[in-house]
Chain A
Amino acid sequence: MYIKESKQKYDAIVIGSGITGGWAAKEFCEKGFKTLLIERGRIVEHRKDYIGEGKPPWVQPLRSKVSLSDVEQQYRIQKNCYAFNDSTKHFFGNDQDLPYVTANDTDFWWIRANQLGGKSLLWHRFCYRWSDFDFNANRLDGFGNDWPIRYKDLQRWYQYVERHVGICGQKEGLVQLPDSEFLPPFDMTAPELEIKKKLEKMFPDRKLIHGRQAHLTKPSALHLKQGRGQCQARNECQKGCSFGAYFSTQSSTLPDAAKTGLLQIAPNSVVESLIFDPASNRVKGVRVIDNEDLSEREYFANVVFLCASTLGSTQILLNSKNKAFPNGLANRSGVLGHYLMDHNYNAWANADIPGFEDAFYSGRRPGGLYIPNFYFKPDPKRPFLRGYGMSAGTYREGWTSIQHQDGIGLAFKQRLQMPGKWRFWLGAQGEMLPRFENCVQLHTSKKDKWGIPLLEINCRFSDNEQRMMEDAAEQGYRMLEKIGLENVKSGLHNKPPGSGIHELGTARMGRDPKESVLNGYNQCHDIPNLFVTDGSSFCSSAVQNPSLTFMAMTVRAVNYAVKEVAARRI
């Protein structure tokens, strides 16, 4: 299945093997296309290469911490990710090898996962459908362009991917957060059930619901057939999961693609540029630099799908400029690289929960609860545009909290041995407006070790996002105080864009080729056999996590591309 050199012309090339690349490869293979999946990083085999899995802290030399020298030399940016530790660090990019530049007075955390499976191994697995309130948002307030698609265009594709992925959750019938096809949700704890009851009574416009996540709480026959098993509630997902209990390329899409016998994978292949044929106005193939020995090679296909991550795909397009496209391939519109977005996670609130001393739990739930966006309807009186969702959950304190309390000796050890008080937390996830000035471009002189110009990122949160986060901190405080929690606190972090690891935009869709790179099927307006289906295609960020939506868009785009090939339009 793994190849290096190949002379054959493939039916389809998929660049990138993360969430969207895995889906594109599976769909093309199952539709009979001979497919080459190109991955810039190393091979990661399901189970075999999850080298941190199941290791308790005491067998790790630094008990889960990464040495200061490794952090400073190799993971200066990656260390900022909550999931970065000694058992997961091999799934993060090495910052030394993957430099980028940020414009003066700006900062951007670019979290990387350059290996087979990409960030599908590291993601937090939240899956929320978008609604027409999201697809209409740009049109209504004029920020960004109008999405060329609506909920009805994605609905059947959401359903299609959800059945395969396996998403736990509960039907709620919310207009702003359409229900998915669900497996049973994880339990709520006793205090969570009580807080839900009080909060929904005191704030009738708000709901506290089960988080919706790509975890097999009760695998279906389809999931078992994929070789996947039930979630064990270890909450150590980013180390890799031999059960395949969370969705990843390795656990779910790659095995199905491989089963067809039509898949080949070119690992360690850093795409330098796309090969464009001006005579036919088609992309003919891909030029790659070997990740390890830096040699060059080329691959050819009828159709090319870019699934290399938001900034990765845009970097490739920008670096594929030629006489016909002097500002970047498929960039006659001039918007390639612009309208970069993320989510803003900077507001938080927490509090003590009185009582519930006799309530406990077993296992480590790999997710939490969610307060869907209650600002989904535009309101000119609100001091900011768009809205936010909130992650939430409870925990019962243990030694990591109690260790900071006063105490020495026997009584202290006894206190550390027992569970402490219950706590509740909220974290906002705010929509970021699409703005032209938030952009990326190729650096004019600096290059990486593969000779590819570095990406220069110029992105900052605006006053709108700041006002939104201030409101989230205030609302968080109000909610926790009003439902009777104690020691309520709320506040703001100051994390830069990129910290949400939901980078979106820079090769947006649209109806008008003059103001967008892609049409409503993720197909380049300018080049019919080139598609971009990862987060770069997004016109807005909504408040929901984007992965489920770009899965659905990818599957829809493949379905469209296959028909276009059959009709000989590609």
Chain B
Amino acid sequence: MMLEQHDQSKRRFLQGLLASLGAGITTGLMSEKAIAAALTYHSHASKAPYQNQVLNKGQLKLLKVVCNTVIPTTDTPGAGDIDVHYFIDNQLQHCYDVQTHVRMRTTVNLIAQMSQTFHNRTFEHLQSPQQIALLTSLDTGLKPFSKTQQACFKQLKALICFGYYTSEIGASEELVYQAYPGGFEGDITYSGQRNYGSLAYY
């Protein structure tokens, strides 16, 4: 349904653009076809296996489960389902310094280690409530986790959220994506609808 809204929003943009510009536009500058082509969204999904960059394969396997624990599957996929763990690995490689790489590796290792300490099992093999409980302790800085460990996890959690809500599913299915809102309405009634996934700056 949300994707449909997104497509409608795009169509409205094209119609609106051409209608509003009307006779003022010359064919040399633009045609409907050219604009439509320029706005075609290319999927960058690749079938080749992902090549890890900052985190090792074991860490990525665990991170996928962490992603799905933080943002689980509901009527829309969870963060792990849409490979946010791979997004994080790639984003760390390109946009973050080495100190952040170390912090994120340490945080993933800490989750693995604490899972063994508390439950004598890998994090991936814990029951869902145990996974939630462990991450909640880390997220809220409960003992034995330190403030520093909590802050590092908050940063990882923010990367999970960023990866999820800037993905097509996160932005346009879990939330509502207004590609071309058609104008600003300042006062409409809120009656439980999902929030917007379309933001001007991220």
- Answer yes or no: B174 CB below 8 A from chain A CBs: yes
- Complex Cα distance, B20 from A371, in Å, reads 33
Which chain A positions have C-beta within 8 A of B95?
62, 65-68
Which chain A positions have C-beta within 8 A of B91?
62-63, 65
- Answer yes or no: A47 CB below 8 A from chain B CBs: yes
Count how many pairs of residues, one from A and one from B, have CB atoms less than 8 Å apart in the complex: 212
Which chain B positions have C-beta within 8 A of A360?
187-190, 193
A363 and B178 contact, CB distance less than 8 A? yes
Identify which of residues 169-202 in chain B touch chain A, using a CB-to-CB cut-off of 8 Å: 171-172, 174-175, 177-202
The contact string, 1 if C-beta is below 8 Å from chain A, for chain B 44-70, is 100000000000000000000000011
Among B38, B154, B201, contact of A85 (Cβ-Cβ < 8 Å): B201
- Answer yes or no: B135 CB below 8 A from chain A CBs: yes
By beta carbon, the residue of chain A nearest B136 is: A408
- Answer yes or no: B103 CB below 8 A from chain A CBs: no
- Answer yes or no: B132 CB below 8 A from chain A CBs: yes
Which of these binds chain B: A182-190, A488-496, A518-526, A539-547?
Answer: A182-190
- Measured as residues with beta carbon below 8 angstroms from the partner, the interface class of chain A is 35 or more
- Given the known inter-chain contacts A229-B16, A417-B195, please indicate yes or no for A408 contacting B69, CB distance below 8 A: yes
**B84 vs chain A, min Cβ distance (A):** 11
Identify which of residues 377-422 in chain A touch chain B, using a CB-to-CB cut-off of 8 Å: 396, 398-400, 403-404, 406-410, 412-413, 416-419
- Answer yes or no: A225 CB below 8 A from chain B CBs: yes
- Answer yes or no: B157 CB below 8 A from chain A CBs: yes
- Given the known inter-chain contacts A408-B132, A409-B70, A409-B132, please indicate yes or no for A398 contacting B196, CB distance below 8 A: yes
- Measured as residues with beta carbon below 8 angstroms from the partner, the interface class of chain B is 35 or more
- Given the known inter-chain contacts A232-B180, A412-B70, A412-B71, please indicate yes or no for A243 contacting B186, CB distance below 8 A: no
A364 and B74 contact, CB distance less than 8 A? no
- Given the known inter-chain contacts A56-B179, A227-B21, A408-B139, please indicate yes or no for A364 contacting B200, CB distance below 8 A: yes
- Answer yes or no: B1 CB below 8 A from chain A CBs: no
- Answer yes or no: A445 CB below 8 A from chain B CBs: no
**A414 vs chain B, min Cβ distance (A):** 8
Which chain B positions have C-beta within 8 A of A193?
187
B187 and A399 contact, CB distance less than 8 A? no
A68 and B96 contact, CB distance less than 8 A? yes
- Answer yes or no: A64 CB below 8 A from chain B CBs: yes
The CB with the most chain B CB atoms within 10 A, among A83, A242, A362, is that of A362
A57 and B184 contact, CB distance less than 8 A? no
Which chain A positions have C-beta within 8 A of B202?
57, 63-65, 85, 400
By beta carbon, the residue of chain A nearest B180 is: A232
Which of these binds chain B: A91-99, A144-152, A233-241, A292-300?
Answer: A233-241
15 contacts between A and B (CB under 8 A): A54-B39, A56-B177, A59-B44, A62-B94, A219-B20, A224-B21, A227-B24, A233-B183, A234-B200, A243-B21, A362-B178, A364-B198, A399-B165, A399-B175, A417-B174
